[in-house]
Amino acid sequence: MSMVREGLLYSKEHEWVRLEGDVAFVGITHFAQEQLGDVVYAELPEKGAAVRQHSSMGVVESVKAASDLYAPVSGEILERNIKVIEKPELVNLDPYGDGWMVRVRPTDRGELGVLLSAAAYREHIGESPGTGGD
Amino acid sequence: MSTDALLRTALNAEHRALGARLVPFAGWEMPIQYPSGIVAEHRATRAAVGVFDLSHMGELRFTGPGAVEALDRVVSSDIAGLGVGLARYGLLVNEGGTIVDDVIVYRLAAADFLMVVNASNVAKDRAHLAARLPSTLAWADESNATALIAVQGPRALETVAALVDAPAELTALPTFGVIRVTVAGAPVIAARTGYTGEDGFELFTATSQAVGLWRALLAGDGSSSGAPVPVGLGARDTLRLESRFALYGNDIDETTTPLEAGLGWTCRLDKEFCGREAILREKAAGGPRRRLVGLVVEGGIARHGHAVVADGQEVGRVTSGTFGPTVGLAIALAYVPVAQAALGTTLAVRIRDRDVPVRVVLTPWYRRTI
């Protein structure tokens, strides 16, 4: 499986963003979950919370270590994924699917411009271009 | 510590070939985990059998006349009464009564002892012992010539027995027993000891024998279910913590005493040994002021160094903390004042500026049932 999925935007801190209309789904990348190891705990912002791009909005913990979850865009949290809180291993099993973290309503779509394309993120993590695509 | 000076065990290339993630640990480049991950390795050890490269550990060898008397005076536990073919856990304690190291002493023959010490403490232990052992005693640091492979889990016995020249003797070996055997063609010292809470063996061999022994152990009997898996230091840590084994450098060190750490049982106070007077003084003064207690954390994962809080005041520190895969709980060890050490006491651990409730619980969190 490729670590990077086409059609998503990526932060250098290894979050992905999937836009659906005026709402953004956010999670951590396959690369991030692999680096982190088995995820055993997730702390996610509550509905209604305001998050700021590049600021910590939660924590993902593996057996070995805690890792900050950064907001890839500023906005209002519409929902946090309760399934991930209840079953943190979803982040390892399906980082781009059932392992999503939060739904955000971005307040400044201009911020999306600083995020990386799949190709740029692939370069960021040192994955060779030939291995891309799902 | 600079990474270019890291020592490599004889199994370093094996770890690389298996896809291990290698990290610096106590001056060695060691596998923290293999591709299956810490939780899978932990579960495989609890359910079947895990194979660990522990060649970074230190091995000191004491031989000849006077060895038993000399060791009995530097180790807290009863070495004089240790039978040939048996091993005992004990502590090296300094005159101030704090812990220099925790060790296992194996009596291989009447006057032949192997002491296994923590990798990070080899140089310190050597200096400590050199200053306290009689100069006439023959002893040597065999760490760099010795490979150590642990085989742990409910299927450890059948895994090693299938490769050993003396399966009946191996099977009959009691817990903390030690014998010389040949495993997969390698002459080994096999001990029924470990650091996981499971049945199992620790196999000491010459570094030149390590690769053959490692490959044979991992090959198992060829069956796919419950086959031996390589286990890294990450799962070694979760396995030992669930079983409440202290980790030197985290839970015990030269700022902690045996009584504080709950290791008073390793100290034979009716014999002379280095540190005894200080322990007796601590007892006479009413015992330790703080104790190492087990915690269950509700709503977060406590880590080494986190503050323990009671009524808003810091009262102690977490020394080890993780999520225990088998017990399914966030668990931790922490030093807390004796007044707060009773089972059932509710305290808090400060995790990222938030006070997360914790409860003092009976340990170990995990005890094997067979």
Q: What is the ipTM of this complex?
A: 0.82
Contacts of B330 in chain A (CB under 8 A): 40-41
Contacts of B325 in chain A (CB under 8 A): 38, 40, 63
Alpha-carbon distance B330 to nearest alpha carbon in chain A (angstroms): 9
pLDDT tens digits for chain B (370 residues)? 555 689 999 999 999 999 999 999 999 999 999 999 999 999 999 999 999 999 999 999 999 999 999 999 999 999 999 999 999 999 999 999 999 999 999 999 999 999 999 999 999 999 999 999 999 999 999 999 999 999 999 999 999 999 999 999 999 999 999 999 999 999 999 999 999 999 999 999 999 999 999 999 999 877 767 899 999 999 999 999 999 999 999 999 999 999 999 999 999 999 999 999 999 999 999 999 999 999 999 999 999 999 999 999 999 999 999 999 999 999 999 999 999 999 999 999 999 999 999 999 999 999 998 6
The amino acid that residue A20 corresponds to is: E
Please state, in angstroms and rounded to a whole number, the distance separating the CA atoms of residues B303 and B301. 6
Contacting residues for B366 by C-beta, under 8 A, at least 6 apart = B197, B242, B243, B324, B326, B327
Alpha-carbon distance B6 to nearest alpha carbon in chain A (angstroms): 22
Please state, in angstroms and rounded to a whole number, the distance separating the CA atoms of residues B85 and B83. 6
No. of helices (H) and no. of strands (E), chain B: 9, 20
Please tell me whether residue B208 adopts helix, strand or coil conformation. Answer: helix
The amino acid that residue A58 corresponds to is: G
Enumerate residue ranges in chain A where pLDDT < 50: 130-134
CB contact under 8 A, A38 and B32: no
pLDDT (0 to 100) of residue B226? 81
Please state, in angstroms and rounded to a whole number, the distance separating the CA atoms of residues A85 and B169. 50
No. of helices (H) and no. of strands (E), chain A: 4, 9
CA distances from B306 to A114, B165, B257, B351, B359 (A): 36, 49, 20, 7, 15
Please state, in angstroms and rounded to a whole number, the distance separating the CA atoms of residues B368 and B359. 23
Strands B146-152 and B178-183: unpaired
Strands B50-53 and B229-231: parallel
Contacting residues for B62 by C-beta, under 8 A, at least 6 apart = B70, B71, B112, B113, B114, B115, B137, B138, B139
Please state, in angstroms and rounded to a whole number, the distance separating the CA atoms of residues A47 and A102. 9
The three-state DSSP-derived secondary structure of B96-139 is CCCEEEEEEEEEEECCEEEEEECHHHHHHHHHHHHCCCCCCCEE
Q: B47, B226 in Cβ contact below 8 A?
A: yes
CB contact under 8 A, A63 and B352: no
Chain B residue with CA closest to A40: the answer is: B323
pLDDT (0 to 100) of residue A129? 56
Of A41, A59, A63, the CB nearest to B38: A63
Residues of A engaging B, defined by a Cβ cutoff of 8 Å: 37-38, 40-41, 43, 59, 61-66, 92
pLDDT (0 to 100) of residue B217? 98
CB contact under 8 A, A37 and B33: yes
Alpha-carbon distance A87 to nearest alpha carbon in chain B (angstroms): 12
Entry pTM: 0.93
Please state, in angstroms and rounded to a whole number, the distance separating the CA atoms of residues B340 and B321. 19
Chain B residue with CA closest to A36: the answer is: B37
> Of A25, A102, A90, A20, which is closest to residue A56 (Cα–Cα)?
A102
E strands of chain A, at which residues?
9-10, 15-20, 23-28, 39-43, 50-51, 56-62, 66-70, 75-80, 102-106
**CATH code, A22-108:** 2.40.50.100
